[in-house]
């Protein structure tokens, strides 16, 4: 069994990640219901995972795959730039990203799951 490489993170983010898990958005809850318990191709995902100076929405260590939900706050120019920098820094560790809009999760979860499954199969 190979050991998953841990991406370094700020230790103070563990507490914040725990709080974010307790106060999930509707989209995060809906997607988590589909990801938990290895429901997609047997891969284990975790919620609100600290990486570097950030916290990602969902992460699969085996695949080095982040799934991010972009809500209303991600539509502003500053947020888009910040997300891009954040993603680039994390990608330097060999991590891939998939992004979904908050509304897609709420309105078309089956399509989201198909896209995640397709991405994993292509990975």
> Of 79, 43, 13, 5, nearest to 67 (Cα)?
43
pLDDT along the chain (123 residues), means of 10: 76 96 96 97 97 97 96 67 93 97 96 98 90
Q: Are 67 and 40 in contact (CB under 8 A)?
A: no
User: pLDDT value at position 1?
Assistant: 46
User: pLDDT value at position 2?
Assistant: 52
pLDDT in tens, 41-61: 999 999 999 999 999 999 999
Q: Are 97 and 40 in contact (CB under 8 A)?
A: no
Is the pTM here over 0.85, yes or no?
yes
> Of 20, 13, 95, 111, nearest to 60 (Cα)?
95
Neighbours of 68 (CB within 10 A): 17
Can you identify the CATH homologous superfamily of domain 13-122?
Answer: VSR Endonuclease (3.40.960.10)
């Amino acid at each position: 069994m190979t050991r998953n490489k841990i991406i370094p993170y700020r230790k103070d983010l563990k507490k914040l990640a725990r709080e974010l898990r307790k106060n999930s958005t509707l989209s995060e809850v809906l997607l988590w219901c589909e990801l938990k318990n290895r429901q997609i191709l047997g891969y284990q995902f975790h919620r609100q995972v600290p990486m570097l100076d950030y916290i990602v929405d969902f992460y699969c260590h085996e695949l080095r795959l982040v799934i991010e939900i972009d809500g209303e706050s991600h539509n502003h120019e500053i947020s888009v730039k910040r997300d891009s920098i954040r993603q680039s820094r994390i990608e330097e560790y060999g991590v891939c990203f998939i992004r979904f809009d908050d509304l897609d999760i709420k309105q078309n979860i089956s399509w989201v799951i198909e896209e995640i499954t397709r991405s994993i199969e292509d990975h």
